[in-house]
Amino acid sequence: MSDSHAAPPEVLFTGFPGFLGSALLRRVLDRGDGPVACLIQPQYRELAEERAREIVSAVGGKWKGDAAAAAPAVDDAPATDPAAHLYEGDITEPDLGLGSALDDPDLLAGVEEVYHLAAVYDLSVDADLAAAVNVRGTEHVLDACERLGVDRLHYVSTCYVSGRYDGVFTADHLREGQSFNNHYEASKHRAEVAVRERMADGLPATIYRPAIAVGDSETGETDKLDGPYNLLRLLLVQPGRLAVAFSVPGADETELNVVPRDYVVDAIAELSGRPETMGETYQLCDPEPLTVPAFVAALSDAAGRRTVTVPTPKRLAKAAARLLSAAGVAVEPATIDYFDHPTRYRCPNAREALSGTGVSVPPFESYVDRLVAYARANPSVGDDPMT
C-alpha cells in the first residue's frame, strides 16, 4: 500500500552496511532516533537490505526498503516504528549522488543529523582512491550537511591522523607538522582538517577518533581480518611448538593501541546522544595500551604458539612480508610501520565524558581469546576494504 503519512528520514548514515556502521545503526534506532536513511552503493544493496532487515526487526520495527531517490515503499507499520531507508548514492559524487532528493521534504530534506563513517580503511590504499573517498567524499558530506542545515554531524575519524607524531597525541592535537605512514593516514588527516574548518565556520559537529579497531570483545566477530590480524595469520601458519615473528628496532618501546568494535560503537552511541558533546573531539583509544612485545605475547598465548621474536631491520621485515604475501600468507607490509610507531595516544576528555556510563575499554588480554577463536572459525573472512 502507499502511505503518504510515513515519516521521512531525520538521520542520514554513510558507511552502512559496514562493520561499525551496522552496529551503530542498531544503537541509534534502538534509542529512538530516526527514521534513518542509509546511503549505500549499488554493489552492496543485497547485503544492506539483509542487515537493515535484521537490525530493524531486532529493535522492534518493520522493514521498509526504499528505492534510491524515490518515495518510500511502506508497509502497515505506524510511522513511529523504527525505520531504515536505503538510498543508492556515492560520497565521491557531488550531492552524494542523491541529486534533488536532498531538497525533497518527502525524501531527505528533513534530515537533521548525519553520521559519516564511510571511508577506505586500508593501509595500502593508493593516493588517488584515498583522496577521492576519504577527502573529497568527506567534503561532499560537509556540503550536504550545509545544504540540509543539519543540527549535528557525527564524523568518525581515526587516532592515526597523528601520522608519525613523536610523543603523546591527544584530541587537542591535529596539525603538528607530522609525516605519515601511508596515504590512508594522510587522507584521514586532510579530511579531519576539512571538518574542523567547517566547524570553525559554524557547522555543529562532533569528531570521534578510534584507535585500531578489532573484533567484538564478547563474540570476537569481525568482517575484516586486517591490521593486527596480519600477525595472527603469521603465527597460525607456523608450528605451535615454535613460531617466529619480526621485531624491528624500537618495538620494545612502541605502544600498539587496539580497541574492540563494541567499545567504539558504545562510546559513539553514548557521546552522540548528549548535547554537551557538541564541538568536541574524542579519541576512542586504550589509555593503557600494550607495548608491541606484550601484544605479541598475548596474541601468541591465545593462538597456542610459543613465539620467538627475531630482531629484524625494518626494510628487511617489509621485504619478508611481501614475500610471505606472494606465497599466500596474507601479511600486509604496511603493518610493519606500526611496530615502531612513535606516537602514544591518550584520551582524558573521552574518559571523563564516559565516566559512570559503564562504557570503558576492556584490557586486550581479556578478549584476545575470542578474537583468535573467531578468526580460526571463519577463515573465509577477508581483508578487502569496503569501498
User: Is the pLDDT score of 69 beyond 90?
Assistant: no
Binned at pLDDT 50, 70 and 90, residue 65 comes out as low
Residue 331: predicted pLDDT: 87
Task: For 318-329, write each residue's pLDDT tens digit.
Answer: 999 999 988 888
Average pLDDT, the chain: 91
User: Is the pLDDT score of 51 beyond 80?
Assistant: yes
Distances (CA, A) of 19 to 25, 208, 225, 264: 10, 16, 12, 11
Residue 384: predicted pLDDT: 56
Fold annotation for 11-214+258-284: Rossmann fold (3.40.50)
CA distance 141 to 134: 11
Binned at pLDDT 50, 70 and 90, residue 71 comes out as very low
101, 8 Cβ separation under 8 angstroms: no
Task: For 247-304, write each residue's pLDDT tens digit.
Answer: 999 999 999 999 999 999 999 999 999 999 999 999 999 999 999 999 999 999 999 9
Task: For 107-135, write each residue's pLDDT tens digit.
Answer: 999 999 999 999 999 999 999 999 999 99
Average pLDDT over residues 182-210: 98
Residue 125: predicted pLDDT: 96
User: Is the pLDDT score of 72 beyond 50?
Assistant: no
Residue 355: predicted pLDDT: 97
Average pLDDT over residues 27-39: 94
The answer for residues whose C-beta is within 8 angstroms of residue 8's C-beta and 6 or more apart is 35, 72, 105, 106, 107, 108, 109, 110
* 76 against 40, higher pLDDT: 40
Residue 1: predicted pLDDT: 27
What are the cell numbers at 261?
A: 568494535
Q: What is the DSSP string of 22-46?
A: HHHHHHHHHTT---EEEEE-GGGHH
Residue 73: predicted pLDDT: 33
208, 273 Cβ separation under 8 angstroms: no
User: Is the pLDDT score of 34 beyond 50?
Assistant: yes
What are the residue ranges spanned by the domains of the chain?
11-214+258-284, 229-256+289-342+363-377
Average pLDDT over residues 227-244: 93
User: Is the pLDDT score of 387 beyond 60?
Assistant: no
Binned at pLDDT 50, 70 and 90, residue 68 comes out as very low
Distances (CA, A) of 21 to 174, 225, 274: 25, 17, 19
Residue 67: predicted pLDDT: 41
Residue 214: predicted pLDDT: 97
The answer for residues whose C-beta is within 8 angstroms of residue 81's C-beta and 6 or more apart is 60, 61, 62
Percentage of the chain exceeding pLDDT 70: 91
The answer for residues whose C-beta is within 8 angstroms of residue 271's C-beta and 6 or more apart is 206, 208, 277, 280, 282, 350, 353, 354
Sign of CA dihedral 236, 240, 241, 247: positive
Q: What is the DSSP string of 71-121?
A: PPP--SS-TTS--EEEEE--TTSGGGG-GGGGG-TTTTTT--EEEE-----
Q: What is the DSSP string of 132-190?
A: IIIIIHHHHHHHHHHHHT-SEEEEE--GGGG-S-SEEE-TT---S----SSHHHHHHHH
User: Is the pLDDT score of 29 beyond 50?
Assistant: yes
Average pLDDT over residues 1-28: 83
* 374 against 379, higher pLDDT: 374
User: Is the pLDDT score of 385 beyond 70?
Assistant: no
CA distance 354 to 333: 36
CA distance 304 to 242: 10
Residue 345, strand partner residues = 169
User: Is the pLDDT score of 78 beyond 60?
Assistant: no
User: Is the pLDDT score of 79 beyond 80?
Assistant: no
CB atoms within 10 A of CB 352: 9
Q: What is the largest distance, in Å, between two alpha-carbon atoms of the chain? A: 68
Residue 42: predicted pLDDT: 94
Task: For 142-152, write each residue's pLDDT tens digit.
Answer: 999 999 999 99
Residue 6: predicted pLDDT: 63
Binned at pLDDT 50, 70 and 90, residue 330 comes out as confident
CB atoms within 10 A of CB 210: 23
CA distance 76 to 31: 22
